[in-house]
A and B are shown apart, each in its own frame.
Chain A
């Protein structure tokens, strides 16, 4: 290691209720070093970043800054002790102009404007309102503001995610120069190419633990992927998904060159009847927009979606539902009426049809709901409010409401996030059964092993495009993670 140690975090642990986000995370950083912080989705990266930068307090563990124990209680304190973050989401105030935003953090204008120029933004006025500027510019301004305060440690969280290539090059160049003159940089990123170009070391998090510290050298990608995966949790019988011969039938959903501003640039795939199609992607590659678009929340900028051969033109989620696309969002809070009963939640899609004006057909509704509850093995002790159910049971309700109505096409967005293993195992067969009955299921999951457990095929989305299609039979975690990091595409190009 070169130079004095700037930051040394050890034994950081943090729990949110019953969920243990971090159990033993650590990171050390010396002057002039650039360290990459890596980890698969849900490994605890963002929690760790928030703790180092003072936005969250750890339950236990120590953060030493220049060898002295620091109690970083707020972002303001972190800033004062020389640690300045650039978060993924710009921390600039939309309703204030540039000058006022600088005054908020006591940033001097001259060095800020110099950095703005250096980073490739030419036409910035101090009187520009932040809310009027594009996202890429905001991220650059956030970085320039951080650099202007001459930090000891700079934390860049997915800094290049929303940037066009020319700005990315500038950012990497400036970051390297700053490190060469002594600044320490923590670089959180999904992009291997940037990490190997820029960083000296990579620290890998898995399941809330720091599991490795790698020197950046050739072949490090392979090693990092292995570390991120680690020893897999045995999840019962593999091969629940017997590979099905794809039916001769026409695809139920055809998506062609779908683009959704700003992130999705080209998504093409077919979804057949009686098929579970997995979607593999790192966070923020455009999968959220894809699902929102197919569920009728977001209009596409170009391209087309065809359902049963008819072009879809959704103006409202009700249009998507009428066309047979049923969406189960990742955040259960978006889908459930927390204070209402299980019965009402399952029955909501029937009663939401205002065409059936007048009394609800209670008898029929009751039968279907009872059927769904039985099928889903929902714990009926909690017949009362849905919010009293466990997360797993809540998720079963969000899927179950579509079972009760009958479903052609189900869009599942990370349905097992934050659910215990037992409930997960009840959800996979449910998905399989739906497919066997002829339903088409689009299944995004942040847990790679679920592709083999529940899907027939999987598409891989990277940087807003479908980069690969993988058969479930070949979908071991390594192949998937490589593809998710866009590595196969790069190797192909090389």
Chain B
């Protein structure tokens, strides 16, 4: 058990931080309760999916700058499709679309050997254009059951949004993490040469990791469309936010370390911080300064503690 905590020290630290922030919220705003929690979770949902996708590619040793654009493509596709066909097949199509976009990103990186940051920067524009081609102005509509399902709490105190992100991660990441592909993703990100020598097909691993990222972006796009009820072709502020949450969540830029739980908790931490600052009526411009400061401090503290732990 102590071994488990040691290996997940970063995540444990984040949980403590999150709990502390929730307590602070409750003190500032005594009426903050289940419904407040629900609205925070709901607002965090698209961020959480973008972060999950980003975390996977960062673990494999890459980065994907096109996450927000892929989410936009998926959101407008969902909104357009659902006007014509029923919800479930549309959801399936959108998920497949996300997977395909991710695989294209990965294949371009592996085949052309152009650095990932350049390829995905280019694809940021490509997918953005594609989203505008599908739907020039915000429009379409999403299925009623999606719009209602994403709100509220079926189980009192447990927001549906939280259940959705947990289910998506459990469905996609948990089986993957235990599979050979999952180990290969960590191996490639950790030490590409050693992975190659151990018999890992490094190129294929990388492509599939980007595919998984695309799939999480599809979940993100779907949740975005469900929350607003329409499709919005202009990408939202998810790129930088996801990188921030990934770093705060204990995934090392450069690859090989961390998981998905830490980054997703980090998303909630960043949302709660924002809520607290709003409740305190802090100037929104100061808010971003505080968010940035928290990020540097947490990563600095976490790295120092991890290093000290390793030296013992």
Binding site for B on A (CB under 8 A): 55, 74-76, 79, 85, 87, 89-96, 100-101, 103-105, 127, 129, 132
The residue on A at minimum CB distance from B59 is: A95
CB of A227 to closest CB in B, whole Å: 30
Verify if B189 is at the interface (C-beta below 8 Å from A). Answer: yes
Verify if B278 is at the interface (C-beta below 8 Å from A). Answer: no
Q: Which residues of B contact A129 (CB under 8 A)?
A: 7
CB of A138 to closest CB in B, whole Å: 10
Given contacts A76-B199, A89-B194, A92-B198, 4 further A-B contacts (CB under 8 A): A76-B201, A93-B187, A95-B186, A104-B199
Residues 178-194 of B, flagged 1 when their CB comes within 8 A of A and 0 if not, give 00100110110111011
Q: How far is the CA of A55 from the CA of B193 in the complex (A)?
A: 10
Q: Which residues of B contact A92 (CB under 8 A)?
A: 194, 198
Question: Can you give 17 A-B contacts (C-beta < 8 A)?
Answer: A55-B197, A75-B199, A90-B194, A91-B194, A92-B194, A93-B187, A93-B190, A95-B189, A95-B256, A95-B257, A96-B183, A100-B186, A103-B180, A104-B184, A104-B187, A104-B198, A127-B7
Verify if B125 is at the interface (C-beta below 8 Å from A). Answer: no
Q: Which residues of A contact B191 (CB under 8 A)?
A: 93-95
Knowing A92-B194, A103-B180, A104-B187, say if A132 contacts B310 (CB, 8 Å). yes
Q: How far is the CA of A132 from the CA of B189 in the complex (A)?
A: 17
CB of B110 to closest CB in A, whole Å: 15
Q: Which residues of B contact A74 (CB under 8 A)?
A: 196, 199
Knowing A94-B256, A96-B183, A104-B180, say if A75 contacts B197 (CB, 8 Å). yes
CB of A483 to closest CB in B, whole Å: 34
CB of B185 to closest CB in A, whole Å: 10
Residues from 191 to 239 in B contacting A, C-beta threshold 8 Å: 191, 193-201
Interface of B is mostly: helix
Q: How far is the CA of A79 from the CA of B196 in the complex (A)?
A: 12
Q: Which residues of B contact A90 (CB under 8 A)?
A: 194
On whether the beta carbons of A96 and B186 are closer than 8 Å, the reply is: yes
Residues 34-52 of B, flagged 1 when their CB comes within 8 A of A and 0 if not, give 0000000000000000000
Contact of B190 among A75, A96, A103, A132 (CB under 8 A): A96
Verify if B3 is at the interface (C-beta below 8 Å from A). Answer: yes
On whether the beta carbons of A93 and B199 are closer than 8 Å, the reply is: no
On whether the beta carbons of A104 and B197 are closer than 8 Å, the reply is: no
Q: How far is the CA of A55 from the CA of B195 in the complex (A)?
A: 12
Q: Which residues of B contact A100 (CB under 8 A)?
A: 183, 186-187
The residue on B at minimum CB distance from A75 is: B197
Q: Which residues of B contact A55 (CB under 8 A)?
A: 196-197
The residue on B at minimum CB distance from A129 is: B7
Knowing A93-B190, A132-B310, say if A103 contacts B183 (CB, 8 Å). yes
Q: How far is the CA of A249 from the CA of B256 in the complex (A)?
A: 55
Q: Which residues of A contact B184 (CB under 8 A)?
A: 104
Knowing A100-B186, A127-B3, say if A93 contacts B198 (CB, 8 Å). yes
Q: How far is the CA of A129 from the CA of B201 in the complex (A)?
A: 22
Q: Which residues of A contact B197 (CB under 8 A)?
A: 55, 75, 85, 87, 91
On whether the beta carbons of A93 and B195 are closer than 8 Å, the reply is: yes
Residues 1-21 of B, flagged 1 when their CB comes within 8 A of A and 0 if not, give 001000100000000000000
Q: How far is the CA of A151 from the CA of B144 in the complex (A)?
A: 61
Q: How far is the CA of A190 from the CA of B187 in the complex (A)?
A: 31
Q: How far is the CA of A389 from the CA of B117 in the complex (A)?
A: 31
The residue on B at minimum CB distance from A79 is: B199
On whether the beta carbons of A94 and B199 are closer than 8 Å, the reply is: no
> Which of B195, B197, B200, B310 has its CB near the most chain A CB atoms (within 10 A)?
B197
Q: Which residues of A contact B196 (CB under 8 A)?
A: 55, 74-75
CB of A299 to closest CB in B, whole Å: 16
CB of B175 to closest CB in A, whole Å: 14
Q: Which residues of B contact A132 (CB under 8 A)?
A: 310
Knowing A93-B190, A93-B191, A95-B186, say if A104 contacts B200 (CB, 8 Å). yes
Q: How far is the CA of A90 from the CA of B193 in the complex (A)?
A: 10
The residue on A at minimum CB distance from B255 is: A95
Q: Which residues of A contact B189 (CB under 8 A)?
A: 95
The residue on B at minimum CB distance from A91 is: B197
Q: Which residues of B contact A101 (CB under 8 A)?
A: 198
Residues 248-291 of B, flagged 1 when their CB comes within 8 A of A and 0 if not, give 00000000110000000000000000000000000000000000
CB of A8 to closest CB in B, whole Å: 23
The residue on B at minimum CB distance from A100 is: B183
CB of B277 to closest CB in A, whole Å: 35
The residue on A at minimum CB distance from B184 is: A104
Q: How far is the CA of A95 from the CA of B200 in the complex (A)?
A: 15
The residue on A at minimum CB distance from B257 is: A95
> Which of A79, A89, A93, A104 has its CB near the most chain B CB atoms (within 10 A)?
A93
Q: How far is the CA of A95 from the CA of B195 in the complex (A)?
A: 11
CB of A145 to closest CB in B, whole Å: 9
9 shortest interchain CB distances as A-B pairs: A76-B199, A95-B190, A91-B197, A95-B256, A91-B194, A93-B187, A93-B190, A75-B197, A100-B183
The residue on A at minimum CB distance from B197 is: A91
Q: Which residues of B contact A96 (CB under 8 A)?
A: 183, 186-187, 190
On whether the beta carbons of B256 and A75 are closer than 8 Å, the reply is: no
Q: Which residues of B contact A93 (CB under 8 A)?
A: 186-187, 190-191, 194-195, 198, 256
The residue on A at minimum CB distance from B201 is: A76
CB of B258 to closest CB in A, whole Å: 9
Q: How far is the CA of A85 from the CA of B196 in the complex (A)?
A: 13
CB of A94 to closest CB in B, whole Å: 6
Q: How far is the CA of A74 from the CA of B199 in the complex (A)?
A: 7
Q: How far is the CA of A301 from the CA of B199 in the complex (A)?
A: 37
CB of B44 to closest CB in A, whole Å: 28
Residues 301-312 of B, flagged 1 when their CB comes within 8 A of A and 0 if not, give 000000000100
The residue on B at minimum CB distance from A97 is: B7
Knowing A93-B195, A94-B256, say if A104 contacts B190 (CB, 8 Å). no
CB of A159 to closest CB in B, whole Å: 15
Q: How far is the CA of A46 from the CA of B7 in the complex (A)?
A: 37
The residue on B at minimum CB distance from A90 is: B194
The residue on A at minimum CB distance from B3 is: A127
CB of A115 to closest CB in B, whole Å: 17
Q: How far is the CA of A90 from the CA of B190 in the complex (A)?
A: 13
Q: Which residues of A contact B7 (CB under 8 A)?
A: 127, 129
Residues 146-174 of B, flagged 1 when their CB comes within 8 A of A and 0 if not, give 00000000000000000000000000000
> Which of B183, B184, B199 has its CB near the most chain A CB atoms (within 10 A)?
B199
CB of B269 to closest CB in A, whole Å: 24
Q: Which residues of B contact A127 (CB under 8 A)?
A: 3, 7
Q: How far is the CA of A87 from the CA of B183 in the complex (A)?
A: 21
Q: Which residues of B contact A103 (CB under 8 A)?
A: 180, 183
Q: How far is the CA of A121 from the CA of B190 in the complex (A)?
A: 25
